[in-house]
Each structure stands twice: as structure tokens, then as C-alpha cells.
Amino acid sequence: MITIYVTFKNKTEAKKIASVLLKKKLIACATFYPIESIFWWKGRINQAKEYAGLFTTTDNRWNSVKTEIKKIHSYDVPCIKKSNSTATKEYEQWVISVTTK
């Protein structure tokens, strides 16, 4: 099981992309929260209010999720990071069951 961390320009975009991923059964669930970011972009330090999303899925869905996000995300270089996760057996089974086509 993996957790994919993605940042978005706003809540609307975060929910839109999560909905696409859910409908395609690429993720089991998504969680969002507002964040403030500071980062280098085009030779300058920038600050932004953004939304972060955590997507839960299986490792074999990683490439498909990453590809789908890149297709519809508004950023030129979206932050898309994968972390391996462990959870209870029951939760992992649920994730597998809802992401299997």
C-alpha cells in the first residue's frame, strides 16, 4: 500500500483530480488540508497558500495515478511524491478491494 502526496493551487482542483482518480478506481480515498508553502521557482523564492492531498492506493497503481495527475494538474511541475505505507490488515484489504477494476 502507498500514500501519494500532491499539492494543488486550491481545494477545487484537489477535489476535481481526486474525483477523477476515484472514478477510475486508481485510489481508494483522498484527504485534503490547507497548507502554506515556500519554494524555489524560476530563480526566486516564492510563497503560496495551497492544498495538500493524500491519496491511498496500491503500489501497482502508482504509475497510473502519477500519469493521470500530470495530465490534468494546473502546475507545470506538480509535487507528486510516493511513500510506502502500512496499515491494519482490514484497511489494506479494503484499499485493494476498491482499487481493483
Q: In the chain, how many domains are there? A: 1
Strand partners for 83: 3
Task: Name the residue range of residue 17's domain.
Answer: 2-98
| Alpha helix ranges (H) inside 1-101 | 11-23, 62-72, 89-98
Q: What percent of the chain has pLDDT over 70?
A: 100
23 band by pLDDT with thresholds 50, 70 and 90 = very high
Q: Comparing C-alpha atoms, which of 26, 35, 28, 38 is closest to residue 6?
A: 35
32 band by pLDDT with thresholds 50, 70 and 90 = very high
The CATH number given to whatever domain includes residue 17 is 3.30.70.120
pLDDT of residue 94: 96
